């Protein structure tokens, strides 16, 4: 039986981001109290920017990330860490440089790993997630084509971290940031659907009317590889945090 994710509608991206940040803060504090680390799966893109701002605000108000371990969903292949569009750069400038996380606890796939080593890099990433105790909470965005991470339409549900070719919608959405579609990397390393579905909890954020159709499809019963976000219907603890515009197609 599919388990349609629940959803919560908020007035604005900011109020939704606040709710997710509060949720993450409670999770960290409750695990801290039990002497446990918190393992977060993190996303990049426009959607989580305000969430990261809220987490920085909570940190300034006393929330510590000393016992937090992070794993990012994905990274472009062929993009150096120092490149302004690398996800390593994004995460450091938007979040990690402003909180007390231990650098050793930060994990992102390495987009510059040489071709011969990519497979072992991906399996090491999976091993690191397992050794950390698995992901307690995975934050996701959603592509207009229904991708989660860079699991593009047609993605298998059986893959763990792997190399993927970016879909044309993904490339066109990234084109402005790279100064044209021809400059957008064609490939990325991404956690697979299998990795994502192994998280204890999943929180998907979607904002704006450009996401309304795909959000509606993702929440309509029926799992299909053509809309990878529908795989979330086979996860028992997923919630969509939406603003009014992204939720406009829902009842």
105 tagged catalytic = no
167 in active site:
no
Q: What are the structure tokens assigned to 95, written together? A: 């979040």
Q: Respond yes or no: is residue 74 known to be catalytic.
A: yes
Exactly one of 105, 126, 136, 145 is catalytic; name it: 145
Whose Cβ is closer to ligand F6R: residue 31's or residue 83's? 83
Question: Of 142 and 202, which has the nearer Cβ to ligand F6R?
Answer: 142
* Annotated catalytic residue within 74, 75, 110, 243: 74
Residue 105 or 146: which CB sits closer to ligand F6R?
Answer: 146
Q: How far apart are alpha carbons 24 and 51 in whole angstroms?
A: 10
Q: Which is nearer to ligand F6R, 6 or 46 (CB)?
A: 46
Active site residue 54: no
Q: Give the footprint of ligand F6R on this chain (CB under 6 A).
A: 43-47, 73-74, 141-143, 147-150
The answer to whether residues 14 and 45 touch, using CB atoms and an 8 Å cutoff, is: no
State in angstroms the smallest separation of the CB of 45 from ligand F6R: 3
Q: How far is the CB of 162 from ligand F6R (least distance, A)?
A: 14
Active-site residue identified among 50, 75, 147, 243: 147
Question: b/e per residue, 28-50, with b = 16+ CB within 10 A?
Answer: beebbeeeebbbbbbbbbebbeb
Residue reference for tokens 């207009």: 144
Tokens of 27: 């999770």
* Spatial separation of the C-alpha atoms in residues 140 and 157, rounded to whole Å: 16
Residue 133 CB, nearest approach to ligand F6R (Å): 22
Of 31 and 144, nearer to ligand F6R (C-beta) is 144
Min separation Cβ 150 and ligand F6R, Å: 6
As a whole number of angstroms, the distance between CA 28 and CA 31 comes to 5
We find the least distance from the C-beta atom of residue 141 to ligand F6R, in angstroms, to be 2
In the structure encoding, which two tokens stand for residue 248, read together? 């406009």
Q: Which residues are catalytic?
A: 74, 145, 147, 152
């Amino acid at each position: 039986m599919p388990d349609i994710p629940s959803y919560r509608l908020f007035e604005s991206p900011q109020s939704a981001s606040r709710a997710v940040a509060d949720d993450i803060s409670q999770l960290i504090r409750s695990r801290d109290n039990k002497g446990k680390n918190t393992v977060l799966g993190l996303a990049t893109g426009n959607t989580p920017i305000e969430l990261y701002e809220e987490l920085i605000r909570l940190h300034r108000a006393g929330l510590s990330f000393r016992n937090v371990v992070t794993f990012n969903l994905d990274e472009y292949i062929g993009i150096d860490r120092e490149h302004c569009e690398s996800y390593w750069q994004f995460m450091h400038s938007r979040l990690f440089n402003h909180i007390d996380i231990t650098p050793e606890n930060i994990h992102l796939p390495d987009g510059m790993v040489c071709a011969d080593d990519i497979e072992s890099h991906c399996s090491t990433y999976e091993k690191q997630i397992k050794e950390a105790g698995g992901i307690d909470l995975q934050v996701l965005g959603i592509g207009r084509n229904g991708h989660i991470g860079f699991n593009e339409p047609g993605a298998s549900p059986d893959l763990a971290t792997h190399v993927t070719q970016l879909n044309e919608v993904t490339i066109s959405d990234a084109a402005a940031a790279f100064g044209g579609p021809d400059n957008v990397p064609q490939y990325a390393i991404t956690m697979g659907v299998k990795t994502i579905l192994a998280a204890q909890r999943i929180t998907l954020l979607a904002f704006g009317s450009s996401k309304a159709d795909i959000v509606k499809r993702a929440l309509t019963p029926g799992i299909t590889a053509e809309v990878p976000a529908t795989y979330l219907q086979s996860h028992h603890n997923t919630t969509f945090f939406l603003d009014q515009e992204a939720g406009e197609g829902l009842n």
